[in-house]
Chain A
Amino acid sequence: MNDDQPRIDGLARITGRAVYVDDLVRPRMVVAKFVRSPHPHATIVSIDLTAALAVPGVVGSMVGDELPVKFGPIPVGRDETALAVGKVRYVGEPVVAIAAVDEETAHRACRLVNIVYEPLPAVLTLDDALAEDAPLIHAEKRKATNVLRRVHQSHGDVDKALAGAAVVIERAFSYPGSTHVPLEPHAALAEVEPDGRLVVYASTQNPHYLHKDLAVVLGLPEHRVRVVKPAVGAGYGGKCDPTSVEICSAFLARKLGRPVKIALEREEVFYQHRGRHPAVMWIRLGLNADGSLAGIDFKAKAAGGAYASYGVVTAYYLGVFLTLPYRVDHVRFETLRAYTNEPPCGPKRGHGAIQPRLAVECALDEAAAALGLDPAAVRRQNAVPDGHVTANGLVVGTCGLVRCLDAVVLASGWNERRGKLGPNRGLGIAASSYMCGALHPVYDDAMPQSAAVVKLDRSGEVVLFVGTSDVGQGSSDVLARICAERLGVDVGLVRVVEGDTSLCPVDLGSYSSRVTFFAGNAVIAAADAAKKRLPEGVPWLAAIQQAEESGGTVVGVGSYSPPKVGSRFKRQSVGPSPAYSFTAQVAEVEVDPETGITRVVKVWCAHDVGHALNRGSCEGQIEGCVYMGVGEALYEEQAYRAGVVKAPSLLEYRVPTVHETPEIVPILIETFEPAGPLGAKEVGEGPQLPTVPAIANALYDAIGVRLYDAPFTPDRVRKAVLAASKGAR
């Protein structure tokens, strides 16, 4: 293990041989396209399909009333329908689907659909949403409010702690909404098998949940539905929700008796969204005279768009990780997630934990400066120890934060270089912690959350069946390595069969950084069980054959349920995890003070990954996280004008190119977490948490101005520089 080997799926991906949903073609297949709402909030008065259906090549249609069953990714947020029913709630919401023999015909027919709307007053900002007399986006809800969820938790006595602190920083911050930009847009192909069973090929992170949702929405027994996930071109959280793409293709396939494909256009991915919640935040953070963290008092309001998605969970994530990675006994937070007439927000890499990091890490930096303390040393001093239990009951396990901090301080030359880089160049630091899978699944039962079957073939091949969803992050590679390691064979012998709800045992999916940890543990159990069947001291092939002779096909089954820890607080179902990863980052920036154009020159990122099961994959995840953080810090924003996405294209929604991507130095810290598979922890999300605040703190070091509102656009940086020079005069 621990070597830097090419991924088992690497060659297929880079040579274009990996098969994605849109590569699939079926006999008699038709394609469907959506007609989307041009209004942020409007009643649907009438829908006239006559002209569209008259177009030669059009084979069918679907409207919302045909399938009014509500769904959503979590039980407390089922407020969506496959197509709008009665009214539309955001610009870009699908209202009608038209199926035709080819894309061009469907597109042309869509433009002939005549929908009459009666516009309603729209809720376009957080203030709109929270106003006394705000129009209700979901009037059918029990409570007459646009607030989806409020969370309020208090641990210790924050007011007292802050009253006794040597310095208290009180600031307001804002964090932008952003979207995932998976290279592969969402796509699904649905067909009804000859025996009447439904198969949906989908670009999804969560085949299992999608399977359940399809059954509920279509009114089918679960055993009559199968979800297959081919190769997926990334998700970053954007492919966790069940969507109109899968549900409409499935509905239409049954209605028309033909395979139906829906593949979104890039513009539509911006409407599908489920991206980062824009949040306004307020923080009071205090340091005691000895540099220890006195307390954190925090508020956040997130504008969530028109549907719930995972928004209830987001409201918790905005607060529950305030108790990490620093020891703090006095914490209080009030968060809320509201509905607005905009495309729905949802989970994006570092779900809900990213936004508060900006507030905490910048306020901590400011507090350290006020006390004349080194920001790196203050973080080191406050790092939680191994086995720490946080004020809100999170049980830490191993913690490599001190080693992470030491590593980035050393690698970046922090002590020698900070403050000495000359004008307009600076270093900033930030740290964080993230979960390795949510302890509590989306629906609660006693069944395992991950499972694996290992079959040893008499040919010597090892077939690993797992219900996981490799979306490009390399989960199949890592699971194959774990399997090979436990069996003591070369990884080349392992074939992974995954992402198929009929062939594979259940796994809950690729979210909350759970796959390596949860499925990895299941694979260990399955491989060990299979290995138990083998006689000892016999070469591989002979061992399998002997075992098969004596007891039939050699199969091992394993599963994983996380330990029931971290549930000290009844309300605390969000946050607890079997282990936590830790990250420290130093960013170096260079600012053009006249134009305000900022460049991130280099980022050093040390991450406590427990045990690196494939160094290349771990480093790749770190690079991807930092890259995404740089985008959110400087370039990206899912912004709206009167409810209309300003830039639904990759031309104007500016993800960094290779030129804007800094040199990234990934440093892997290994703490061998006892609860993790072979000691491993997550690395897919955590490393993004410190990037934006590290850049903010580096900007301060460079230009002597603190910026509280991301993204740090040239315009904002320029204004800040000008304001500071006026102040200095």
Chain B
Amino acid sequence: MLPLPRFQLSRPTSLADALIAVADGAVVIAGGTDLLPSMKHRLFEPARVVSLAGIASLRTIVPQERGLVLGSGCTLRDVARDQTVLRLFPALAAACRTVATPTIQAMGTIGGQVALDTRCVYYNQPAGWRQSVGGCLKKDGAVCHVAPKGTGCYAAHAADTVPALWLYDAVIQLASTAGDREVPLRDLYGDDGRTWLGVRPDELITSIALPAPASSVVHRKVRTRAAIDYAALLVAVSRSDQGLRAVVSAVGPRPIEVAAATPEALAEAAHEAVRPLGTHLHPVPWRRALVRIEVLRAVNGLISP
């Protein structure tokens, strides 16, 4: 078996203790379904790891007057089965159910989704493999194999639930020993695969606030197998009084949003805005061609308001 590197694990039962640990440099583990494989691949070798599993307050789903607050520690299964989520945010529940496999949904958390590392075929590999290509900009190397002339990293956002959370106008609530803050999910992500996440190392995601739904949302995920696979393409679309919106992801470090009045214009806008790169095993032209198709299909799946 591929062994984990050695590390020290703490399991605080209070948020305050967890915040002290991260302020002190510990790396957060929630469900561990992404962090542990990455540690086995030696992408991270943290000396200290702090588990959030013992903090009960992070695992609550609290209905608000009109919306909902999801504790970051809720598992994807918790979220997918919650009656309020199913009623108000069905596309979120659907997206949870497309993640990996049922066993991973039972362990992986919604907080882990929001903070999920970007992915690339040159990066998510065992240490020896990466050595054989000389590493890359994101880890242990001096070039990007996807865009060798550039200076950026294009590793792709991969979290299934993020496009739906985005269109439900999710707000991420962050805490640290320095104080709390709120960031709309759509402002959380950046354009480089190394620094894509607007959460500081000393911060924790405590919850995800979903306001009353202003639009209906449809989530679609393209993959060759109906389980296990990460997305070759993620699309969510919404229709509200303001018109149609689409968020396309799994194509770069940041999900891409476009808006238009008609389905065709929306698909065209998405097609124009999205430039997938060779971060996946699936060929780039195929993934690009799918953008238009999947946006149209998603719009067709919307129930008229």
Contact = CB atoms under 8 A, between A and B. Distances in A.
Interface string A386-417: 00000000000000000000000000000000
A646 B283 contact: no
A713 B125 CA distance: 23
Given A595-B293, A649-B126, 12 more contacts: A107-B3, A266-B2, A267-B129, A595-B290, A635-B225, A644-B129, A648-B129, A649-B125, A651-B229, A654-B224, A654-B229, A659-B227
Given A265-B2, A657-B228, A644 B132 contact: yes
A157 interface: no
Contacts of B224: 597, 634-635, 654, 713-714
B285 A715 contact: yes
B225 A652 contact: no
Given A38-B131, A91-B132, A267 B293 contact: no
A651 B132 contact: no
A87 interface: no
A38 B125 CA distance: 13
Contacts of B282: 714-715
Contacts of B2: 107, 265-267
Contacts of B286: 596, 714-715, 718
A108 B42 CA distance: 11
B226 interface: yes
B225 A657 contact: yes
A424 B191 CA distance: 40
Interface in B96-143: 121, 124-129, 131-133
A660 B223 CA distance: 12
Contacts of A263: 1
A104 B7 CA distance: 12
Contacts of B290: 595
13 contacts: A104-B3, A104-B6, A646-B281, A648-B129, A649-B125, A649-B126, A651-B230, A652-B281, A654-B225, A654-B229, A657-B228, A718-B286, A718-B289
A267 B128 contact: yes
Contact of A267 (B126, B225, B227, B228): B126
Nearest to B4: A104
Interface string A603-614: 000000000000
A341 to B, nearest CB: 12
A647 interface: yes
Nearest to A642: B133
A330 interface: no
A490 interface: no
A222 to B, nearest CB: 33
Which 4 A-B pairs rank lowest in CB-CB distance, beginning with the nearest?
A: A659-B226, A38-B132, A715-B286, A104-B3
Nearest to A592: B293
Given A595-B290, A718-B289, A660 B226 contact: yes
B265 interface: no
Interface residues of A, number: 40
B222 interface: yes
Contacts of A266: 2
Interface string A649-663: 101101011111000
Contacts of B6: 104
A485 interface: no
A103 interface: yes
A103 B227 contact: no
A594 B4 CA distance: 43
Nearest to A656: B225
Most buried by B among A39, A656, A657: A657
Nearest to A599: B226
Contacts of B1: 103, 263, 265
Nearest to B285: A715
A103 B293 CA distance: 48
A104 B227 CA distance: 31
Nearest to B228: A657
Contacts of A654: 224-225, 229
Nearest to A637: B281
Interface in A622-655: 634-635, 642, 644-649, 651-652, 654
A111 interface: yes
Nearest to A597: B224
A36 interface: yes
Most buried by B among A92, A107, A634: A107
A692 to B, nearest CB: 17
Nearest to B229: A654
Interface string A53-89: 0000000000000000000000000000000000000
Contacts of B227: 657-659
Given A103-B3, A267-B126, A657-B227, A715 B132 contact: no
Nearest to A103: B3
A627 to B, nearest CB: 13
Interface residues of B, number: 32
Given A595-B293, A654-B225, A38 B121 contact: no
B243 to A, nearest CB: 25
Contacts of B124: 651
B225 A660 contact: yes
Contacts of B133: 642, 644
Interface in B272-290: 281-283, 285-286, 289-290
A94 to B, nearest CB: 11
Contacts of A111: 127
Contacts of A715: 282-283, 285-286
Nearest to B297: A594
B226 A595 contact: no
Most buried by A among B222, B225, B229, B230: B225
A642 B126 CA distance: 17
A660 B229 CA distance: 12
A646 B3 contact: no
A595 B287 CA distance: 9
Contacts of A104: 3-6
A443 to B, nearest CB: 36
B288 to A, nearest CB: 11
Contacts of A642: 133
Given A103-B1, A660-B226, A36 B128 contact: yes
A647 B129 CA distance: 10
Interface in B223-257: 224-230
Nearest to A37: B132
Contacts of B283: 715
Given A265-B1, A595-B293, A659 B225 contact: yes
Contacts of B289: 718
Nearest to B287: A715
B51 to A, nearest CB: 20
A36 B125 CA distance: 15
A648 B126 CA distance: 9
Contact of A39 (B4, B127, B132, B222): B132
Contacts of B230: 651
Nearest to B129: A648
B65 to A, nearest CB: 40
B82 to A, nearest CB: 25
Nearest to A185: B1
A714 B280 CA distance: 14
A657 B226 contact: yes
A103 B40 CA distance: 13
A104 B4 CA distance: 7
Contacts of B293: 594-595
Nearest to A106: B3
A642 B129 CA distance: 12
Nearest to A644: B132
B35 to A, nearest CB: 15
Contacts of A646: 121, 281
Interface in B1-41: 1-6
A266 B283 CA distance: 25
A297 to B, nearest CB: 33
A349 B61 CA distance: 51
A263 B2 CA distance: 10
Nearest to A263: B1
A46 to B, nearest CB: 17
